[in-house]
Amino acid sequence: MTTTSTSVDTLAASQSIRDGKALISAGGITELGFISLGSENSTRRYLGIWYTNISPLTVVWVANRDTPLENNSGILQLNEKGILELLDAEYSTIWSSNISSKEVNNPIAYLLDSGNLVVKNGQGTNKDTVLWQSFDFPGDTWMPEMKIGWNLETGQETYLSSWKSDSDPAEGDNALKLDLRGLPQIIIFKEHEIYKRLGSWNGYSLVSDPNQNFQTRPKFEDNGKEVYYYYEVLHNSVFFVVTLTPSGTMHSSSWTNQTRTRNFVSTGERDQCENYAVCGSNSICIYDGNHATCECMRGYVPKSPDEWNISYWANGCVSMNKSTCNNSYTDGFFKYTNLKLPDTSSSWFNISINLDECRKICLKNCSCTAYADLDIRDGGRGCLLWFNALVDTRKFSQWGQDLYVRVPASELVIAKATGNFSAENKVGEGGSGPVHKGTLTDGKEIAVKRLSMNSGQGLCEFKNEVALIAKLQHRNLVKLMGCCIEGEEKMLIYEYMPNHSLDYFVFDESKSMFLDWSKRINIISGIARGLLYLHQDSTLRIIHRDLKTSNILLDANLNPKISDFRLARLMLGDQVETKINRVAGTYGYIASEYAARGHLSVKSDVFSYGEKLIDEKVQDEGNEIL
């Protein structure tokens, strides 16, 4: 025979509660009973746990989420074996708890203030006497002290699963789990595919959210028997829960004893970079406040440049370096800062190895693609290595971690000289790409033009510029010091011109005052000498085809030097004129006979020089024709 319990926090063996009655935790914080979800007219009833007197209603656990009662005749009882049973009107079991093979002695069920429903043996309060607890079988809500992870001894996994809808608690398509492959990390799955990745533990927090909520403290435990995450609430008067929604996002909400009103702390919707692998592999997602963009990591190029140029990034980036284990020892590492570290499912880690040892281990293994600190506390410790592709990496503006990505040695010498192509060292940008100032190890200053993939300048124009300018030597022509071609990456290294280009002065009223008449005469004469060399005095007769103020660079003494030979045309023998089908250059600087009929000659450069270049009133250079 059973008796009915109500308004107490315990349920002893042979006791039961019927629909309309409830268990209330000792502190009056949580309640267990029968409830309808959705519309007021719904006849479906669920056995659930919710926070008492909180608005709106906050249900944190449902027992019979997939098998609702069809009326209000449900009964919850605890039998002598320590098993909780939910019975319908016909006394058929529609849900029950299951317990381990522990010895059962006078079991009692407790509803705790934490929202955990616990079944224990009657004597003692030692944790070893716990027979079953609802925290081991959560629904869509992650509560303080609730573990998400694995019991390695029993193989039991504890994870969140979303409701099907806001009014249907049946198991939905989304799950939040601890993935044990490589370094353990929290992942949100949607229909068994990775949807979002909260990441691994770095000593302070999960890597996806270094700026942890001030109300909670995250924790991670790996003791050989269990691997799990949980969190603590920092103040006793504050309540905080995290819900996995039917859409797959994480909603955080909190309230206090005084307010009793639940407020959303975070909706979980941050930006597009939170979607798993939105940029494919070996790339970084960057969110500027309005939209997300992707860029390949150093040493990598888009797998499909055409798709990349139209902002379809899913195929990611591939290595431009065809290195093998025979030459990988010459590689180095490019340091990125403020990153969400990549997916750690193919990683290896060791807490006892320092970062320098970590670098050496990675360098010796040609399959190792990156390394980082395992734990960032106290200046960093431990070693985390990645193998194969680097996936789901994003840039943060003010927080994040350092990541060292393996690159060929050639990538490091340019990158090091320009401060990793930093914005501070950027001195200009034309139609073909940005130009950065660099300083070599011997102190010599250089200018590095890194050609943009969507500039319209292909390999043909690049080789043309290198081939022509390498054979030209004149004081009024810019000197090419080197070049780099690796995959889709193309760079030109010039002597550095500290006074930028001519348009920097002539189109700025204040700066143009520095150009007195003697300096202007020197610039005009220098350009003329350079053109005379190209057209007549060099062994090759060359027509520049894109002579304009931005392509005239000025050295420390304001001496002019003609630059940018990507569109230059070589004339054969004594040839002084030719007809071409493809007109190239810049509107406003092109001779009329060339623009209209394709007649190209040395006079075309003279037109650009005489009619436009020395006329400082030209204010609009227009668009390049490619």
Which are the catalytic amino acids? 546
Residues near 556 by beta carbon (within 8 Å), at least 6 away in sequence: 498, 499
Helix (H, G, I), strand (E, B) or coil at 75: strand
Is residue 604 within 8 A of residue 568, CB to CB? The reply is no
Nearest alpha-carbon partner for 381 in 614, 192, 202: 202
With tokens 């990034």, the residue in question is 313
For residue 608, give the DSSP letter: I
First-residue to last-residue Cα distance in the chain: 92
Concatenate the DSSP letters of all residues of 571-624 into one string: EPTT--EEE-SS--EETTSS-HHHHHH-EEEHHHHHHIIIIIIT-TT------E
For residue 104, give the DSSP letter: P
Is residue 297 within 8 A of residue 405, CB to CB? The reply is yes
Compute the radius of gyration of the chain from its Cα atoms: 35
* Separation between Cα atoms, residue 119 and residue 181, nearest integer Å: 33
* Separation between Cα atoms, residue 218 and residue 345, nearest integer Å: 21
* Separation between Cα atoms, residue 76 and residue 71, nearest integer Å: 14
Burial class (CB in 10 A: 0-12, 13-18, 19+), 588: middle
- The values of phi and psi at residue 318, to 5°, are -125, 160
Q: Which helix (H) or strand (E) holds 278?
A: none
Is residue 80 within 8 A of residue 14, CB to CB? The reply is yes
Helix (H, G, I), strand (E, B) or coil at 603: helix
Is residue 503 within 8 A of residue 621, CB to CB? The reply is yes
Q: Which two tokens stand for residue 601?
A: 């000659």
